[in-house]
Amino acid sequence: MPPTIREQILQAFVAALQGTAQVGTRIYRSRVAALARGESPALVVEPLRDVPTNNVLPKLDWTFQVQVAIIVRGTAPDQLADPIVDDVHKRLISNAPLNALLTGLQPGPVAWLLVDGDQDAGVITLDYEVRYRTSFADLSLS
């Protein structure tokens, strides 16, 4: 059974982000385990919500929210993350294989969570609104 288009999109997000500045291969899908200090900076790609509308039978138009979290450690985490934020955005907006799955990609809110622990840390989240279309009867077909 082929993966749903939603799953293909999430896989394409991860593939597009390979090689992101300062991150290397530390890109995770829906990771719930805490990152060790040596695992940052890192990216976590997570689905947030997916809402269908039925404007044209036999199709569904979906609005899918995907979040990319950037986890950094060090003094002034927002400054440390800034070049990573820029690279993530460029890689997603200009990625042909990802965009071939979509009918639209729109950047959404960016949020900063700065925390103090054994070392300063930050989690910067980038939300993207992804639009795509599937068959009404089969979510793996467009």
Give the count of beta carbons closer than 10 Å to the beta carbon of residue 132.
Answer: 20
Q: What strands, in cross-sheet order, belong to the sheet with 104-115?
A: 27-29, 42-53, 59-73, 121-135, 104-115
Rounded Cα distance between 83 and 94, Å, is 17
The residue to which tokens 């907006």 are assigned: 93
pLDDT of the chain, 142 residues: tens digit per residue: 789 999 999 999 999 999 999 999 999 998 888 888 788 999 999 999 999 998 778 999 999 999 999 999 998 999 999 999 999 999 999 999 999 999 999 999 999 999 876 678 899 999 999 999 999 999 998 8
Is the overall model pTM greater than 0.85, yes or no? Answer: yes
Residue 27 forms beta bridges with which residues? 43
- Bridge partners, residue 66, by sequence: 47, 128
pLDDT in the model for residue 117: 67
List C-alpha distances in Å: 83 to 22, 36, 67, 77: 9, 22, 18, 11
- All domains of the chain, ordered by start, with CATH? 5-135 (3.30.70.1700)
Q: Which two tokens stand for residue 116?
A: 């103090």
Q: How many residues does the chain have?
A: 142
> Which DSSP letter does residue 43 get?
E
What CA–CA distance (Å, rounded) separates 20 from 86? 10
Task: Please state, in angstroms and as integers, the Cα–Cα distance from residue 72 to each residue in 10, 15, 99, following that order.
Answer: 22, 20, 28
